[in-house]
Amino acid sequence: MNSKNAPTLALIPARGGSKSIPHKNLAPLAGKPLIAWTIEAALRYAAGLRVVVSTDDEEIANAARRSGAEAPFERPLGLAQDDTPTMAVVSHALWWFDENEGYRPERLLVLQPTSPLRTTDDISAAIALADERAADSVVSVSSGATHPNLLKRVTDEGRLEDLVPHDPVLRRQDLEPVYSLNGAIYLASRDLLLKRESFYSDRTYAYVMPPERSIDVDAPWDLYLCDLILRDTHGRG
């Protein structure tokens, strides 16, 4: 459901440029464009989200509309560069809706299209967590693939050293669990975003996702893995 009056705006940032995979957001993935998996997951959220794609690319905008999302504005080219921070894209979207529609959502949910394995259940659980904890924001994470205490560096002379100084730990099971951002879900109140220009405060909570749904499509290998998983999950030959 794509409600124009929804209290939560789901913003999908999808610029046209990509170095690792040309036109990555439209790359074929299990029979659909990559971006369609995120749009469809957001549209299935039972309570209703306003699902909007922010893009500088007309082809992506048209694909987004075919999948059921809105693409009501063209993102300025200056906000579609390799080094453009996400907050700049967020601020532009909030400004555009305020100026052009008087629409001021209570919360903003950023869903990167490069996380196609994120499900509607993940979105629902993250929003429920924000409600239960009266959170300023909720950010998705997954368990760290490699613990910092196990990381090494190689010196100029070729010697192996600990990257982070630490006391010796004999068993991996004794290491404190660590988590990394997986890029799938960023949820924050509009007030927090406008005041701090950040998704983080002392009331930011973690929504933990399993590694198997946390793949971020950055390279062709990631796309290949996601294609295998989605074809298996959805029974596509």
pLDDT digits (tens, 9 = 90+) for 215-235: 999 999 999 999 999 999 886
Confidence of residue 237 (pLDDT cuts 50, 70, 90): very low
Task: Name which residue leads in pLDDT, 7 or 5.
Answer: 7
pLDDT digits (tens, 9 = 90+) for 132-151: 999 999 999 998 767 777 78
Residue 167 has pLDDT above 80, yes or no: no
Q: How far apart are CA 235 and CA 28, in angstroms?
A: 16
The pair of structure tokens assigned to 201 is 């405060």
Q: Tell me how far CA of residue 121 lies from CA of 59, 149, 203, 205, 237, in angstroms.
A: 29, 33, 22, 17, 25
- Stated as kind and residue range, the H or E segment containing 52 is strand 50-54
CB 70 within 8 A of CB 2: yes
Q: Per-residue pLDDT averaged across 78-84, rounded? A: 89
Closest CA to 12 of 114, 124, 140: 114
Choices 3.40.50.1950, 3.90.550.10, 3.30.930.10, 2.60.40.10: CATH for 8-143+179-234: 3.90.550.10
Average pLDDT of the chain is: 92
Strands 204-208, 28-29: pairing is unpaired
Confidence of residue 171 (pLDDT cuts 50, 70, 90): low
